[in-house]
Amino acid sequence: MAPRRGVYFLANDYVLDRAIAFLNSFRTYHKSLPLCLIPFADNIDDLLRLQSRFDFTIWSGDPAILAACDDISRAFHGEVKGHYRKLAAWEGEYDEFIYVDTDTIVLRDMSFAYDFLDKFAFVTTVSDHPALFRWVWHESIHDAEVLTPDQVAYAAGTQFIASRKECLRFAEVSPRLDAALALARHMALVTLEMPLLNYLMVTSGRPYTSLRVLAGAVGEGQPPPGDIPQERWAGDPLGAVRDGRLVTDWSPPIFLVHWAGVWWELERGERVELPHNDLWSYYRHLGNAEDHLVDLP
């Protein structure tokens, strides 16, 4: 029997605009791929009004799992940060899945990532890049002598993860949390769940990689030479936009644009405008999604 495949995203009503842009872009390139919302928090009434428009389900696993994710957040931060609910993806309905952050625009079919799950348990978009290290670890992690140099160097972004359900079940995560908490002082917790997920992936005993590595990237500032689609950060130059597509000679093709950290900077007044707002706005207003924000029965 073929594995059941689907995509998870994490959102609540606070990021409704971002969710609409993401959902419009996702459904532009995935007409029928199953999609499931993991609630970032309980306030999802407006998102529920968009279910029929964008054809997504709501994560329906054991509520105790979401509560346990919140407890993990409290252990690391002293308060609930919904980002840790990404862990619920391994307790969801799909045998093979892709998790993708909501502050992204999808520019082509991402189903190619499933093909790598025959060999790898975890596939992110970027890893093993010197510029990423500070967003996962402090330099002191080397002195801790808990992880190997290769495990530390992985330092993957967790805005996109392709994986299989059995690879990080909560029953496996729970016994490892004390060891992870012992490394908290070495973690760049400003990125919230990213250090913990890196720790859990590299210490899982299962193979992990990234699309950047698979494409043959070998150093900072060097684009991958292969044809495996790649993610780009919205803070970088991307080229012109025409009808929701990037007009660029970038190769390999870009399948995902991620505004990592940019919305925080806007909210704190550290930026005055959204980079590549023309791309984001195209999908935010595509199809008049506001017309579907009708009252629930």
Residue type, 177: L
Q: What is the pLDDT of residue 296?
A: 37
**pTM assigned to the model:** 0.93
In this prediction, residue 295 carries a pLDDT of 45
pLDDT computed for residue 294 by the predictor: 47
DSSP string, 145-183: T-S-HHHHHH----SEEEEEGGGS-HHHHGGGHHHHHTT
Q: Is 213 helix (H, G, I), strand (E, B) or coil?
A: helix
pLDDT of residue 226: 66
Give the pLDDT of residue 13: 97
**Predicted local confidence at residue 41, as pLDDT:** 97
Q: Among 84, 101, 102, 93, which residue's Cα sits nearest to residue 41?
A: 84
pLDDT at 275: 85
* In contact, 149 and 133? CB cutoff 8 Å: no
Q: Domain 5-292 is in which class?
A: alpha beta
**104 beta partners:** 258
pLDDT one digit per residue (tens) for the chain, 297 residues: 888 999 999 999 999 999 999 999 999 999 999 999 999 999 999 999 999 999 999 999 999 999 999 999 999 999 999 999 999 999 999 999 999 999 999 999 999 999 999 999 999 999 999 999 999 999 999 999 999 999 999 999 999 999 999 999 999 999 999 999 999 999 999 999 999 999 999 999 999 999 999 988 554 455 555 689 999 998 888 888 999 999 887 778 899 999 987 887 878 778 878 888 999 999 999 987 665 554 433
